[in-house]
Amino acid sequence: MARESESGLPIEPVYGPDALDGWDPGARLGEPGGYPYTRGVHPTMYTTRPWTMRQYAGFGTAAESNARYRQLIAHGTTGLSVAFDLPTQMGHDSDAPLAHGEVGKVGVAVDSVEDMRVLFDGIPLDRVSTSMTINAPAALLLLMYQLVGEEQGVPADRLTGTIQNDVLKEYIARGTYIFPPKPSLRLVADLFRYCRAEIPRWNTISISGYHMAEAGASPAQEIAFTLADGIEYVRTALAAGMDVDDFAPRLSFFFVSRTTLLEEVAKFRAARRIWARVMREEFGARNPRSQMLRFHTQTAGVQLTAQQPEVNLVRVAVQGLAAVLGGTQSLHTNSFDEAIALPTEKSARLALRTQQVLAYETDVTATVDPFAGSYVVESMTDELETAALELMAKVEEHGGAVGAIESGFQKGEIERNAYRIARETDSGERVVVGVNRFRLEAEERYEPLRVDPAIEAAQVERLAALRAGRDGRAVEAALSALRKAAEGTEDVLYPMRDALRARATVGEVCGALREVWGTYVPSDAF
Ligand SMILES: CC(C)(COP(=O)(O)OP(=O)(O)OC[C@H]1O[C@@H](n2cnc3c(N)ncnc32)[C@H](O)[C@@H]1OP(=O)(O)O)[C@@H](O)C(=O)NCCC(=O)NCCSC(=O)CCC(=O)O
């Protein structure tokens, strides 16, 4: 009997040549590095350069996070990835009442360019590429990065990295939105335009399926809702008067990788093919780079268990392997203790070592797209493509990604799938090693890393000193120029940069925008 894939598609016990009857490799695959990029975005892929090993990290103060980044670099990480705390992600300062209890918890607290400088102290910004997971206030953090680069003597056109800046999926799955969709999208378009003029090598967005997947989306839903968001961003930038080939080469994506290796490999390949076709056929993109879906992958956090946590090392190795076989550009492998607490230095190192084993001890990097032509993987790639396209058509019926968000479509679909997974896990039909099978009578003790609660007080003190030492009138003038730009149509990033340079804080800059744009209140009751 056929087993069901995570997307609910059948997986047959045996696949043979008949599975690919009439199948045209020229149209479906092309060459590696050639349209429709099913086989990967570069002709040589990992045979000439492995993916970027980019471990997501950050907690406590800027100084503590800086120390962790230096450790990761010393251990061989090849890109940085900054996690910000919730107050920063929501555009609040560390001394705001809403920030209380959350400062430095799930990431680093950054209130102003002063913190940003400490975060990258001793890390030359022209020699590292940095990803920043920040969405509603993405523009602010990018500008602070540029200002720190300036202080280091690094011109903006030498900076490389990625800003998540994907606010649509915040409404669907992640929750750190501030403004309503319309001004949020305007801010995204302003950032695209600004980067083209000022920071041309920067990846201006990381259109993310990861968080939807973590909330319960199936692989087919993950591709469909992510690419539908991508289409909405492309339409927004076009409506703002940009040419598709002026911004599309710097769009990037972000997906999850699970232990269901075959389906995940198929997912990555199908996503590349759909995007290439959409960009070329629907939007008329001519630059090959506009057609390439380049993506980061993180291994699935939801699959990690607090029970027998060392088993997570094995899960992560399989998940990471799936991402590599699927042709990822950049990878974060989770630490085995993530289901319990923030990773310790040792577990973070082990996670990186997992990537190094994949890159340097296995033979999967010796040849491009090793699964090409596989009866099962090509069949699954085609079926996932069809399933995702059907879902994307449904999003269109709702008027595109924003319309579908407003009617709760994606959330509803994801919730339904999450419920299915929960039911299967509860009944034992879905095996989770160490949780519903192969349990231990008594779990061994594990000593997790804890964030020092004194961080909040220290951060509040730093803010008070900053406010006392800056030119208050200059800050006020810059903020009112920002408000004025937000009311009109001018690119808000320029007045925003002036305000941040004058030492305005994250909370103050976002506060000014809240005054003009208001905040988003979800209409549904999920
Ligand atoms: C495009 C990617 C995906 C990867 O960028 P990278 O710089 O790492 O890699 P890259 O662009 O592939 O490679 C760097 C340069 O080498 C070139 N290059 C690479 N391989 C090549 C090959 N085989 N042949 C020729 N050139 C090659 C590329 O073209 C590029 O140059 P050119 O640029 O000149 O072409 C980017 O967006 C990225 O790094 N994303 C990371 C996102 C991330 O870390 N997110 C964390 C989220 S964490 C999160 O959200 C979790 C939970 C939560 O908080 O909710």
User: How much is the CA Rg of the chain, to the nearest whole Å?
Assistant: 23
131: Cβ–Cβ under 8 A, 6 or more apart, which residues? 54, 56, 79, 80, 81, 82, 161, 162, 163, 164, 206, 296, 330
CA of 269 relative to ligand 1 center, distance in Å: 17
Query: From the alpha carbon of 296, which atom of ligand 1 is closest?
Result: 3
Mutation test of ligand 1: which of 49, 85, 256, 319 has the most ligand atoms closer than 8 Å to its C-beta? 49
53 C-alpha vs ligand 1 centroid, how far in Å? Answer: 9
In short, whether 52's Cβ falls inside 6 Å of ligand 1 is yes
DSSP states of 417-466 as a string? Answer: HHHHHHHHHHHTSS--BTTTBS--SSPPP---B---TTHHHHHHHHHHHH
- Name the residue of 162, 169, 226, 297 whose CB sits within 8 Å of the most ligand 1 atoms, as the mutation to test its pocket: 162
Q: What is the pLDDT of residue 525?
A: 45
What pLDDT digit, counting tens, does each position of 391-446 carry? 999 999 999 999 999 999 999 999 999 999 999 999 999 999 999 999 999 888 87
What are the distances in angstroms from CA 138 to CA 2, 68, 385?
45, 22, 31
Atom of ligand 1 nearest to the CA of 52: 8
Q: Counting Cβ atoms within 10 Å, is residue 2 exposed (0-12), middle (13-18) or buried (19+)?
A: exposed
User: Of how many residues is the chain composed?
Assistant: 526
Which of 330, 333, 367, 369 has most ligand 1 atoms within 8 Å of its beta carbon, as the pocket-test mutant? 330
Decide whether any atom of ligand 1 lies within 6 Å of the 203 Cβ: yes
Q: Which atom of ligand 1 is nearest to the CA of 329?
A: 12
- E strands within 141-249? 160-163, 202-203, 205-208
pLDDT in tens, 7-33: 999 999 999 999 999 999 999 999 999
Average pLDDT for residues 353-380, to the nearest whole number?
A: 98
Residue 456 corresponds to which tokens in the numbers above?
């909040």
Span from the CA of 193 to the centroid of ligand 1 (angstroms): 20
Structural domain spans, the chain: 3-12+37-54+164-427
Best probe residue, ligand 1, of 89, 329, 352, 365 (max atoms within 8 Å of C-beta): 329
Q: What are the backbone dihedrals phi and psi of residue 298, each rounded to the nearest 5 degrees, phi first?
A: -120, 140
Would you say residue 526 has pLDDT above 50?
A: no
Task: Indicate whether residue 133 lines ligand 1 (CB < 6 A).
Answer: yes
Average model confidence (pLDDT) across the chain: 96
Residue 524, pLDDT score: 61
Question: How close is the Cα of 78 to the center of ligand 1, in Å?
Answer: 10
- Can you tell me the distance from the alpha carbon of 377 to that of 326, in angstroms, rounded to the nearest whole number? 11
Strand-pairing partners, residue 53, are: 331
Higher pLDDT, 198 or 444: 198
pLDDT tens column, 216-229: 999 999 999 999 99
> Is the pLDDT score of 447 beyond 90?
no
pLDDT at 100 over 70: yes
48 lines ligand 1 (CB under 6 A): yes
Is the shortest distance between the CB of 295 and ligand 1 below 6 Å? yes
- CA 174 to chain centroid: 11
What is the Å distance from ligand 1's center to 169 Cα?
A: 20
pLDDT of residue 443: 86
The CB of 296 under 6 Å from ligand 1? The reply is yes
| Structural contact between residues 107 and 85, judged by C-beta atoms closer than 8 angstroms | yes
Residue nearest to atom 34 of ligand 1 (CA): 201
Q: How far is the CA of 416 from the centre of ligand 1 (A)?
A: 32
Burial class of residue 271, CB neighbours in 10 A (0-12, 13-18, 19+): buried
Position with higher pLDDT, 267 vs 341: 267
Mean per-residue pLDDT for 193-220? 98
Instruction: Indicate the top mutation candidate among 80, 84, 294 to test ligand 1's pocket, ranked by most ligand atoms within 8 A of CB.
Output: 294
In this predicted structure, what is the pLDDT of residue 426?
Answer: 96
Q: pLDDT digit string (tens) for 49-82?
A: 999 999 999 999 999 999 999 999 999 999 999 9
Taking the C-alpha atoms of residue 325 and residue 313, their distance in angstroms, rounded to an integer, is 18
pLDDT digits (tens, 9 = 90+) for 322-331: 999 999 999 9
299 lines ligand 1 (CB under 6 A): no
Which residue's CA is minimally distant from atom 30 of ligand 1?
329
The predicted model scores a pTM of 0.96
Give the position, in ligand 1's atom list, of the atom nearest the Cα of 289: 35
Architecture per CATH, domain 3-12+37-54+164-427, reads as Alpha-Beta Barrel (3.20)
Query: Which of ligand 1's atoms lies nearest the C-alpha of 106?
Result: 54
Determine the 3-state secondary structure of 305 from DSSP. Answer: coil
State ipTM: 0.99
CA distances from 304 to 171, 259, 440, 451, 517 (A): 25, 10, 16, 21, 39
The pLDDT of residue 357 is: 98
pLDDT in tens, 106-161: 999 999 999 999 999 999 999 999 999 999 999 999 999 999 999 999 999 999 99
Cα distances (Å, whole numbers) of residue 149 to 8, 118, 130, 426: 48, 12, 12, 51
